[in-house]
Structure 1
């Protein structure tokens, strides 16, 4: 399980150090793709296989399903860690997440997310204001803290 928040930076070649706490669970090969909320999603191969199966099960007759599947898979890239624990983030993914230098790497249970520092701070401020409302809505989904 991935959890925690880590401050990192991307070097001039587009490389970022993956937090040591995440490396073992991600493995040496993993998948990075465009995520929601203007971040990147990073999946270990086992979780990627689960996501792949879920997306394959969506109906091709529904335009939203086709659009999301295209968005998700077209941005996906198989990544490998180098000897220093770094991953190269392709330029199209850096552009999607607006990552230029400073970034935040967070654990979200089954995946890792990579955010530009500015986007994460803005998202955190906005979400903090509605945290109680979100928690109340989760009760409707039979979730209790």
Structure 2
């Protein structure tokens, strides 16, 4: 199973559309800023399941700030990260993921792509920012029967 992960698109959906067409994922995840971009992506690709959370620029969104879901038997904690202080460190977000027994922690907000598997097996990923100005990146999660791989991709 392949999931693509986006965050911080800020109204620019072109790079996300391109990534979905290139990757042909089984799932789309969006980590906020802007939740409306995620909704537009869902309209463009209705055949691909979509999950999203709101970010600090999503004041009128009804999407949750944090979402725990299961993908292929892995618990995935999604958040934008602003409520867990990720701009000053990932400790609060990692603690939240461990508290709910997550296998994968996904957050955005910093616009800095990052993917690492911690010593306890928790995957931590920030897909960066998927907008056409600056360094445009997104994340990919590959879920196989016995393994998980998370990485970021420049557009």
TM-score scaled by structure 2?
Answer: 0.28
In proportion to residue count, which structure has more helix? 1
Higher relative contact order (CA 8 A, sep 6+): 1
Rg bigger for which structure?
Answer: 1
TM, length-normalised to structure 1: 0.29
